[in-house]
A = this chain, B = another copy of it.
Amino acid sequence: MESTDFTMIKPLNNKRTFEGVSDRLKELIFDGTFKPGQSLPSEHALAQSFQVGRQSIREALRVLEISGFITVRPGTGGGSVIEGTMLSKMAGMFLDTFKLHKVSLMDCMAARKIIEVSILDLVLENFDESDIEKLRENIRCARAHLSSGESTFEDNIEFHRILARSSKNDTFCIVIEALLAVYAEVRSKMTVTSKIINKKVLRIIDNHERLVEAIEARQNQVAIELLRDDLSFSEELVLSSAK
């Protein structure tokens, strides 16, 4: 300790070093200094800029990585690339929360039913032709996969994603993404004989198609009933397999 008074150049923040770094980097991403697609400086460069050790930088990057702000790749030209969306990480964390809190599947499916039906109201108010086209494309895709013997699981998930987007409300998109993650996790663990599932899958796709028609024709009540059917069917499927 020399006599010169080092009146707190850093200790004024009670945060840990890596927290200060990750918070600062978050700010810079939020305010657009670093844009999606761009890369953050290398760990070494960041350590020099922030005047901290590389370990602190790494822990800060770890925070940003699992929060979904960046993806990190090794090697030349690699580094920390700023992501444009946090949706998948967000949904993943939602899933972890469900597991830790041991939320019942029944609760989750019930909530999903209620929320999706609510969303449908918004969809019926706000949809446009391109939404209908995306939904139809999804159905075509699902039929193609079905006939070639591939799984239509992802298509069915995507259908509900597109439906949520058609509401033109981003909040619902995020919420549905999270709920779908739970659904996807459960379904992915289901072992089903393809014979039985084939008939069921066809029913789901046909149901989706009728739903799209009802939406386009603005037959609100019909659409709501069809969506309820669809979700009840998924509910049954999941709850029965989960014993």
The reply to whether the CB of A87 lies closer than 8 angstroms to some CB of chain B is: yes
Closest to A74 in B: B16
Shortest CB distance A97–B (Å): 5
Shortest CB distance A205–B (Å): 27
CA distance A90 to B90 in the complex (A): 8
Q: Encode A89-102 as 1/0 by CB contact (under 8 A) with B.
A: 11001101111110
The reply to whether the CB of A170 lies closer than 8 angstroms to some CB of chain B is: yes
Shortest CB distance A112–B (Å): 8
Shortest CB distance A189–B (Å): 14
Number of A residues near B (Cβ < 8 Å) is 46
Q: Encode A1-36 as 1/0 by CB contact (under 8 A) with B.
A: 000000000000000001000000010011000000
Closest to A89 in B: B93
Q: In the complex, which residues of chain B have a beta carbon less than 8 angstroms from the beta carbon of A59?
A: 58-59, 62
- In the complex, the answer to whether B63 meets A66 with C-beta atoms within 8 Å is yes
CA distance A63 to B64 in the complex (A): 10
The reply to whether the CB of A232 lies closer than 8 angstroms to some CB of chain B is: no
The reply to whether the CB of A169 lies closer than 8 angstroms to some CB of chain B is: yes
CA distance A4 to B149 in the complex (A): 45
CA distance A103 to B67 in the complex (A): 17
State which of B30, B55, B114, B178 has its C-beta within 8 Å of the C-beta of A100: B30
Task: Identify 6 new A-B residue pairs, CB closer than 8 A, beyond the known A67-B93, A67-B96.
Answer: A68-B97, A69-B100, A86-B93, A101-B170, A110-B171, A115-B115
